[in-house]
Amino acid sequence: GAVVSQHPSRVICKSGTSVKIECRSLDFQATTMFWYRQFPKQSLMLMATSNEGSKATYEQGVEKDKFLINHASLTLSTLTVTSAHPEDSSFYICSARDSSGTGGPDTQYFGPGTRLTVL
């Protein structure tokens, strides 16, 4: 149980294009999902908290117009990197909180990540 999927796993795009990354909770409903960014050999940096049916809350320094987050259902959140540039290349990881699971309301389950490369 408590499986989170991400799609795509890898994406390569040209500078200036937009890329959408999907995060799905497969066997539970997630009222809250989180989006992280991870640079090589570094820790996870929280970008935003996504609540179903409401606007995402962005961390300081994260451009909300560049990283569009939509959480339209209890099992799906999307991150769209708009007008991507090489500096946006990174590993993007989502997580979902299973508030009704046996792990308790605090537990977050992570997706496998999406490797974005902007040329």
Q: How far apart are CA 68 and CA 89, in angstroms?
A: 16
The DSSP code sequence of 49-86 is EEETTS--EEPTT--TTTEEEEEEETTEEEEEE-S--G
Q: How far is the CB of 119 from another protein (least distance, A)?
A: 20
Task: Select from 24, 111, 116, 118 the one that contacts another protein (CB under 8 A).
Answer: 111
Q: How far is the CB of 83 from another protein (least distance, A)?
A: 26
Contact between 98 and 25 under an 8 Å Cβ cutoff? The reply is yes
Q: How far is the CB of 44 from another protein (least distance, A)?
A: 5
Task: Select from 13, 20, 32, 70 the one that contacts another protein (CB under 8 A).
Answer: 32
Task: Find, among 31, 44, 7, the residue nearest to 97 by Cα.
Answer: 31
Residues that bind another protein (CB under 8 A): 4, 6, 32, 34, 41-44, 46, 49, 93, 97, 99, 103-113, 115
